[in-house]
């Protein structure tokens, strides 16, 4: 049977399987964690349900203590891999349909996880089933689908799996990002920096509160600061602040509240946004007023200012593949004399972690910022000429007829980082809106068919490599 015909015939059953998986609200739940359920009851049940599906199809399954699972066909040495995840992000009350009940409407399936990543996992499973039923897998090969259960939180799933599993696939594709294909991803470091502010003897404005931003990987859209000013200084401070149109000023009983508004966007494209934290801190510095956190303002201006390319730190980096280094100050908060910043840097694939430490983190420490690393992920880069890239691009083009969009390099991090020789490949088509993590997440039934067919052809081609 041709792949397209097989997908058509399987479609109803695939939708049923997606409905069943979505009905397990597999959101990380700290209140129901135990030894076999490291991410809570619902995540564990969703993982079991998926493995049961595969087992019923006659595939070999393993559950890695609730952290992750895998599904394998064939026993050959050369192994092709796929990696997706069964956990989902939580929902808000902006849903128009019950989020954990799949609703069919206008050719779409609505429900949390339909596109991220339960639908695509089902596509992978049915692609394997096709290969198995049509006896297309040579004895020399095997195919393994790995299912993580903590992708949306802290990757404890795949990290546990990497420690426990006897071997990894030789080459893999990951159905958890975008089509056509992502062959390069910048390196990424999440870090906190703390600054101990030393108050001078004299200052005009005492900073009582300082706060801004919501997350380290988002350009902050708001920041604010409360200051106390002596009555005699009030007029002078007001005049100085009013010169800065970026700052909104509110009078308070003992001083002012300064507010700044920015434009929020994802930290991988900071040029699309405007940092409210930078506007606030630089506005304060440029006002000429002396603040109780002047020491901090001077240092911030020296190392970050209004830039997001590391240039003030002397670590602006660039390559032809992934472009510029970007650094985002995502949140700021003052606690007593300590000013805490959550930040995130994304560096080109041609640069290394060690270079960032040497050229960015060391200079930060030199001026008094205390560095604490939260997460570091190496860049990912598979050459465009690699046969895995060309085979997958062919599979994509054969099914979609789309020759316009080509393979991509991105600043974000996908699940592909965790496996050797892996690229992200779908499930979102270039012409579809990004709905992962949003209210009213859905997958179109037409796309579900196409994705499955692409994965079947992809597996067939990868077997030939």
Minimum CB–partner distance for residue 4 and Zn ion (Å): 26
Residue with smaller CB distance to Zn ion, 17 or 150: 150
Minimum CB–partner distance for residue 148 and Zn ion (Å): 9
Question: Which stretch, 25-33, 115-123, 232-240, 248-256, contacts Zn ion (CB under 5 A)?
Answer: 115-123
Question: Which stretch, 22-30, 168-176, 386-394, 402-410, contacts Zn ion (CB under 5 A)?
Answer: 168-176
Minimum CB–partner distance for residue 413 and Zn ion (Å): 11
Tell me how far apart the alpha carbons of residues 191 and 188 are, in angstroms, rounded to a whole number. 10
Question: Which two tokens mark 422?
Answer: 């892996």
Helices 445-464 and 387-400 sit at what angle, rounded to 10 degrees? 140
Minimum CB–partner distance for residue 71 and Zn ion (Å): 18
Residue with smaller CB distance to Zn ion, 46 or 360: 46
Where in the sequence numbering do the catalytic residues fall? Answer: 87, 151
Question: Which stretch, 169-177, 334-342, 344-352, 437-445, contacts Zn ion (CB under 5 A)?
Answer: 169-177
Tell me how far apart the alpha carbons of residues 49 and 18 are, in angstroms, rounded to a whole number. 11
Minimum CB–partner distance for residue 176 and Zn ion (Å): 4
For Zn ion, how many residues bind (rule: CB under 5 A)?
Answer: 3
Question: Which stretch, 48-56, 117-125, 210-218, 394-402, contacts Zn ion (CB under 5 A)?
Answer: 117-125
176 binds Zn ion (CB under 5 A): yes
Minimum CB–partner distance for residue 388 and Zn ion (Å): 21
Residue with smaller CB distance to Zn ion, 176 or 441: 176
Nearest CA to 450 out of 393, 398, 390 is that of 398
324 binds Zn ion (CB under 5 A): no
Q: Degrees (nearest 5) of the Cα angle 136, 139, 145?
A: 70
Say if residue 452 is exposed, middle or buried (CB neighbours under 10 Å; 0-12, 13-18, 19+): buried
Residue with smaller CB distance to Zn ion, 121 or 277: 121
Out of 45, 70, 116, 324, the residue judged to bind Zn ion by CB under 5 A: 116
Residue with smaller CB distance to Zn ion, 233 or 438: 438
The side-by-side arrangement of strands in the sheet containing 222-229 is: 247-251, 255-261, 222-229, 205-212, 326-335, 338-347, 187-196, 369-377
Residue with smaller CB distance to Zn ion, 334 or 413: 413
Q: Which of residues 249-308 bind Zn ion (CB under 5 A)?
A: none
Residue with smaller CB distance to Zn ion, 116 or 407: 116
Tell me how far apart the alpha carbons of residues 316 and 321 are, in angstroms, rounded to a whole number. 15
Minimum CB–partner distance for residue 98 and Zn ion (Å): 21
45-52 own/partner pairs: CB under 8 Å, 24+ apart: 46/21, 46/86, 46/87, 46/118, 46/149, 47/86, 47/147, 47/149, 49/20, 49/21, 49/24, 50/21, 50/86, 50/121, 50/125, 50/147, 51/147
117 binds Zn ion (CB under 5 A): yes
87 binds Zn ion (CB under 5 A): no
Q: Degrees (nearest 5) of the Cα angle 349, 312, 204?
A: 140
Tell me how far apart the alpha carbons of residues 279 and 287 are, in angstroms, rounded to a whole number. 12
Question: Which stretch, 130-138, 175-183, 211-219, 306-314, contacts Zn ion (CB under 5 A)?
Answer: 175-183
Contact (CB, 8 A) for 462 and 80: yes
The contact set with Zn ion (CB under 5 A) reads 116-117, 176
């Amino acid at each position: 049977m041709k792949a397209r015909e097989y997908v058509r015939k399987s479609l109803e059953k695939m939708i049923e399987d997606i409905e069943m998986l979505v009905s397990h609200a597999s959101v990380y739940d700290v209140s129901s964690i135990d030894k076999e359920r490291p991410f809570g009851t619902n995540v564990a049940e969703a993982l079991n349900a998926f493995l049961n599906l595969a087992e019923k199809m006659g595939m070999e399954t393993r559950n890695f203590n609730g952290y992750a699972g895998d599904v394998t066909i064939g026993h050959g040495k050369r192994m092709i891999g796929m990696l997706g995840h069964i956990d989902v992000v939580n929902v808000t009350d902006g849903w128009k349909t019950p989020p954990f009940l799949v609703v069919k409407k206008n050719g779409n399936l609505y429900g949390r996880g339909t596109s991220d990543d339960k639908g695509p996992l089902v596509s992978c499973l049915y692609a394997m089933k096709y290969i198995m039923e049509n006896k297309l897998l040579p004895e020399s090969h095997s195919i393994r689908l790995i299912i993580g259960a903590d992708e949306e939180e802290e990757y404890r799933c795949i990290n546990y799996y990497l420690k426990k599993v006897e071997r990894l696939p030789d080459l893999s594709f990951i159905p958890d990002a975008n089509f056509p294909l992502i062959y390069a991803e910048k390196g990424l470091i999440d870090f906190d920096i703390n600054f101990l502010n030393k108050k001078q003897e004299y200052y005009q404005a005492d900073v009582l509160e300082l706060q801004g931003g919501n997350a380290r990987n988002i350009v902050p859209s708001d920041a604010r600061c409360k200051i106390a000013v002596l009555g005699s200084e009030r007029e002078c401070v007001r005049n100085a602040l009013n010169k800065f149109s970026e700052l909104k000023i509110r009078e308070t009983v003992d001083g002012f509240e300064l507010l700044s508004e920015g434009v929020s966007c994802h930290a991988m494209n900071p040029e699309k946004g405007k940092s409210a934290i930078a506007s606030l801190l630089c506005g304060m510095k440029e006002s000429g007023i002396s603040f109780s956190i002047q020491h901090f303002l001077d240092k911030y201006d020296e190392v970050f200012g209004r830039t997001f390319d590391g240039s003030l730190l002397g670590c602006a980096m660039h390559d032809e593949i992934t472009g510029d280094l970007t650094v985002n100050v995502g949140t700021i908060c003052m606690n007593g004399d300590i000013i805490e910043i959550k930040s995130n840097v994304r560096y080109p694939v041609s640069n290394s972690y060690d270079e960032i430490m040497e050229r960015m983190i060391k200079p930060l420490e030199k001026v008094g910022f205390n560095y604490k690393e939260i997460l570091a992920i190496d860049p990912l880069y598979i050459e465009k000429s690699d046969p895995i890239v060309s085979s997958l691009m062919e599979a994509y083009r054969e099914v979609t007829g789309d020759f316009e969009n080509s393979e991509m390099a991105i600043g974000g991090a996908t699940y592909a980082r965790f496996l050797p020789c892996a690229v992200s490949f779908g499930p979102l088509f270039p012409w579809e809106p990004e709905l992962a993590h949003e209210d009213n997440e859905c997958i179109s039934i037409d796309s579900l068919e196409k994705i499955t067919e692409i994965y079947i052809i992809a597996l067939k081609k990868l077997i030939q490599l």
